[in-house]
Amino acid sequence: MTTNMSRHLLLVEDNEVNREMLQRRLQRVGYTLDCAADGQEALDKMRDVKPALVLLDINLPVKDGWTVAKEARSDSDIQDIPIIALTAHAMESDRQQALASGCRDYATKPIDFPELVIKIENLLTA
């Protein structure tokens, strides 16, 4: 597989509909993706695949997004992988919690797709 790892993302989302939708849209604009449906799977795949960036839903089974972000920050193998939190919680406190737990950026559902792409590009080229 000739994957360009600098454009390889990990999408963590438990809602199947939303996962498929986002996967297709990101693939369409040129990213390659791995997907995970719960928090533990997300951490495992981050360690295995070493994606360039993680899109992390917060409401996850097994381990929620905050826990995943914190564990990732304390693991030297994967602590540099930037994480963008995706959540349907739209309160200011949620944004602050996302940044506090180590996420580099934050996007609210429903996702503004062009804006999400800009955020991804900002982090990938930084």
Partner 1 sequence: MKLSQTSLSLRARLYLFSMAILTLFVVNVATHLWGSFARSESLVAYRDAAVAAQLVNDLQQGLESARQQTLVLATLRETTDEPLGDAERETATAELDTLRQRLGKLGALGGESTEDYYRRLFDSGSQLLDEWQAFYNNYNRLSSQSSVESPIQYNDTWQKLNELEQRQEALAIERSRTIDGTITLTDQITVIGFITTIAVTMLLVILLIRSTNSSLLRLKTGVQRFGSGDLSYRIDENRDAGEIQDLARTFNDMSGKLSTAIEEVNSSKADADAANAAKSMFLANVSHELRTPLNAIIGYSEMLQDELGDPGEVNREQVQHDLGTIIISGRQLLGLINEILDLSKIETGKMQINLESFQPAAHILQVCDALSPLLSQHKNTLELNLVGAEGHTMHSDPGKLQQIVTNLFSNACKFTDNGTIVVAAEISQDQLTLTVTDDGIGMTAEQQGRVFDTFVQAGATTGTKYGGTGLGLSIVKDFCAMLGGEISLTSTPDAGSCFTVTLPTIGPASNPEAA
124 counts as binding partner 1 under rule CB under 8 A: no
Q: From residue 72, give the alpha-carbon distance in Å to each of 24, 54, 77.
A: 26, 11, 8
- Contact pattern from residue 3 through residue 42 relative to partner 1, giving x for each residue in contact according to CB under 8 A and a dash for the rest: ------------x-xx--xx-xx--x--------------
- Residue 54 binds partner 1 (CB under 8 A): no
Instruction: Output the CA–CA distances (angstroms, integers) from residue 108 to 10, 28, 56, 58, in the order listed.
Output: 18, 21, 11, 11
Pick 61 or 122: Cβ nearer partner 1: 61
Q: How many CB atoms lie within 10 A of CB 62?
A: 14
Q: Which of 99, 111, 123, 124 binds partner 1 (CB under 8 A)?
A: 111
Residue 101's nearest CA partner among 65, 77, 125, 76 is 65
Q: Measured from the CB of residue 61, what is the shortest distance to partner 1 in angstroms? A: 8
Look-up: residue for tokens 């997907």?
35
Should residue 113 be labelled a site residue for partner 1 when binding is judged by CB under 8 A? yes
Q: Which is nearer to partner 1, 73 or 89 (CB)?
A: 89
